[in-house]
Amino acid sequence: MFAKTLISIALALSCVATAQAKDWEIYGKINVSAQQSDEGEGSFGELKSNASRFGIQGDYALEEGLTLIYQLEWEVDPSDEANEKNIKSRNQFIGLQGVFGTVTAGRHDTALKMSQGKLDLFGDYEADIKTLWKGENRMSDSVAYSSPSFQGFKLLLTHVMEDEADAKSAQSYAVVYGDESLKESDWYASVAMDSEMNGYDASRATVQFKVADFKLGAMVQQQEEVETGEKSDGYMANIAYPLNKWELKAQYQTLEDDKGVSAGADYKLGKNTKLFGWYSSFDFDSKVDSDYVAVGIEHKF
């Protein structure tokens, strides 16, 4: 019922948009794959939705050179249960833009999470970097700031409020350089850190660049559990190469003695549509190893 209500609202808003100046849009993507998984108890097939989503975002011009911005985004799962579990909240916020930059309030990815740019070649799949690393947080009660670009550099800040009398606030900081899509520049780099974010302190450095047609990336991370003081270190390296309508890619990630390796390919069917296939294997030190292989389709709208 909840899902039907949201869809009805989205359709109604879409109709209204045809009758007035469009300062907002409905957007999203559907990504579904057929996957064979082995997590230590035998192999099994499943249909997976890989962070399929839809949302509404827009802006509205105000006085004094200010612009109101907003976003409401939900994750949906077309491959799973058709009830309220099918919908999960993603980034949802309201904010102001001006010469000072952008300030938002609501639910938002932290500065450290955003600092990776588009480095993770297998994001939203089994080999998403959050499988091994902490720090991929989307936090409620967030006030976030993004500065204007200064000679290619930007500052990102996140403050997460306590929300309870006996809780602590948390902070996330990042400095980024360049274009994360590698279209306006051949380099993207960042350094970032979390302080007491979801029970962890973390620091991360990221670099991604183009050499000829190759896209190369690397990241190092250190994380520490606040309560125990246990520290862990890891690194990640990847490579992608376009070949006509194909993009071939591979990625390797570690955290101490845990490691994961992935290889895959995307095939472009149109501007907003692709087929994909990938294989991921994890070798864990303290739990059962796992292997996955998948083929699927993605469409953005």
Task: Provide the mean pLDDT of the chain.
Answer: 92
Of 133, 114, 135, the C-alpha closest to 282 is: 133
CB 179 within 8 A of CB 185: yes
- Rounded to 5 degrees, what angle do the CA atoms 213, 216, 222 make? 170
Q: How many CB atoms lie within 10 A of CB 2?
A: 11
Q: Give the pLDDT score at 84.
A: 62
Is this model's pTM higher than 0.95 or not?
no
Question: Bridge-partner residues for 75, per DSSP?
Answer: 53, 88
Collapsed DSSP state (helix, strand, coil) of residue 3: helix
Contacts of 215 (CB under 8 A, 6+ apart): 182, 208, 209, 239, 240, 241
- Burial letters for 110-136: b for 16+ Cβ neighbours within 10 Å, e otherwise? bbbbbbbbebbbbebbbbbbebbbbbb
Rounded to an integer, the average pLDDT of 206-222 is 97
**Cα separation of the two ends of the chain:** 24
Q: Is the pLDDT of residue 4 over 60?
A: no
Q: What CA–CA distance (Å, rounded) separates 97 from 170?
A: 24
Q: What CA–CA distance (Å, rounded) separates 55 from 137?
A: 19
Place of tokens 């970097």: 129
Q: Is the pLDDT of residue 21 over 70?
A: no
Q: How confident is the model at residue 82 (pLDDT cuts 50, 70, 90)?
A: low
Q: What CA–CA distance (Å, rounded) separates 80 from 174?
A: 36
Q: How confident is the model at residue 249 (pLDDT cuts 50, 70, 90)?
A: very high
Contacts of 122 (CB under 8 A, 6+ apart): 128, 249, 251, 262, 264, 278, 280
Place of tokens 């802006």: 59
CB 87 within 8 A of CB 9: no
CB 123 within 8 A of CB 171: no
CB 75 within 8 A of CB 58: no
Q: Is the pLDDT of residue 83 over 90?
A: no
Calculate the alpha carbon distances from 258 to 230, 235, 282, 284 in Å: 15, 11, 8, 5
Q: Give the pLDDT score at 197.
A: 97
CB 283 within 8 A of CB 260: yes
Q: Give the pLDDT score at 22.
A: 57
